[in-house]
Amino acid sequence: MAIEPISTLHAPMPAMALHNVDVAYHGDIRILQDLSLRVEQGGITGVIGPNGAGKSTALRTLFGLLKPAKGDVYVGGKCVTGIAPWSFISHGVAMVPQSRSLFNELNVDDNLRLACWTFRGDKVRVEQALERAYSRFPMLKDKRNQMAGAMSGGQQRFLELGRALVLDPKVLLLDEPTAMVAPRLSAEIYDFIAGLPAQGISVLLIDQNVRQCVRVSTHVYVLELGRNKVSGSVQDFAQDHTLRDLIAQWVDYKIDS
Ligand SMILES: Nc1ncnc2c1ncn2[C@@H]1O[C@H](COP(=O)(O)OP(=O)(O)OP(=O)(O)O)[C@@H](O)[C@H]1O
Ligand SMILES: [Mg+2]
């Protein structure tokens, strides 16, 4: 029997999980190898690691865009391996991919309306969803008639977040939400993400910005070459000298103990 890492012993049910998955591109380019990952319920689970470590591949697997050759994907206690990506919405899972995903030629309002596609027949719900998005991000309301493609990178990221939240998810998967975003808006995005668990949303946060990722996360995974390198709660990282030194060396960042 595999020895459970101390941080997962007696742990509550995760919001989502990958269990020992192998994932390959084009059938034979194996990227993830025996990777396990828990998106902690009511927390922010940070995933860090160097370029090409497999972070985005793990997220695509969690959202059903890639099917594992081995292992399983769970939402809560339910095994959902092999279901289509669009079905994840009905399981309460939304995601914002690493690459920009807006309809640049459509305005802000229409981008949000398109996100309501699955319940488009329910006009009241659509208007409520839009109002909620605009009250979360008043800046979007000011720009509701502006083309998405004409907004700054940070503003586009807020629109992508607003669009994902229109679906009222329980789990939000985020891939590098502040990449190429100016520092001021980037800080606002992290503050926003930090507040999501209090709204009942569990978050998976993939990030190259290790400092900010560790600052807002409750649990952290480090991936390397498609495998788990280390993982634990932020407290584990702070208290374990080896882990703390690893992070400190790697990114010149000291976790407060
Ligand atoms: N569509 C694809 N086809 C083949 N190989 C791919 C494909 N997408 C990614 N890869 C390879 O899979 C590996 C993991 O890529 P992935 O994008 O998951 O890494 P990452 O950790 O997200 O990196 P980054 O920090 O640069 O975003 C890399 O070696 C990459 O070249
Ligand atoms: Mg990536």
Residue 10's pLDDT band, with cuts at 50, 70 and 90, is low
Ligand (nearest to CA of 49): 1
- Ligand 1 centroid from CA 180, angstroms: 18
Write out the H or E segment, with its range, that includes residue 238: helix 234-239
Which atom of ligand 1 sits closest to the CA of residue 60? 18
What pLDDT does residue 200 have?
96
pLDDT of 144 > 90? The answer is yes
The model's pTM is: 0.91
Determine if ligand 1 sits within 6 Å of the CB of residue 61.
no
Find, among 183, 112, 177, 114, the residue nearest to 144 by Cα. Answer: 112
Write out the H or E segment, with its range, that includes residue 113: helix 108-115
Find, among 120, 113, 153, the residue nearest to 134 by Cα. Answer: 113
Q: Tell me 146's DSSP state.
A: S
- Ligand 2 centroid from CA 245, angstroms: 24
Which tens digits make up the pLDDT trace of 44-87?
999 998 889 999 999 999 999 999 999 999 999 899 999 999 99
What pLDDT does residue 6 have?
40
The packing angle between helices 108-115 and 123-136, to 10°, is 130
How many other CB atoms are there within 10 angstroms of residue 61's CB atom?
A: 24
What pLDDT does residue 5 have?
47
Which tens digits make up the pLDDT trace of 169-209?
999 999 999 998 998 999 999 999 999 999 999 999 999 88
CA atoms within 13 A on the CB side of 80: 26
Tell me which of 3.40.50.10440, 3.40.50.620, 3.40.50.300, 3.90.550.10 is the CATH number of domain 6-99+170-194+202-251.
3.40.50.300
- Ligand 1 centroid from CA 222, angstroms: 16
Residue 61 bridge partners (DSSP): none
Residue 248's pLDDT band, with cuts at 50, 70 and 90, is low
pLDDT of 224 > 50? The answer is yes
Q: Evaluate whether 178 touches 211 at the Cβ level (below 8 Å).
A: no
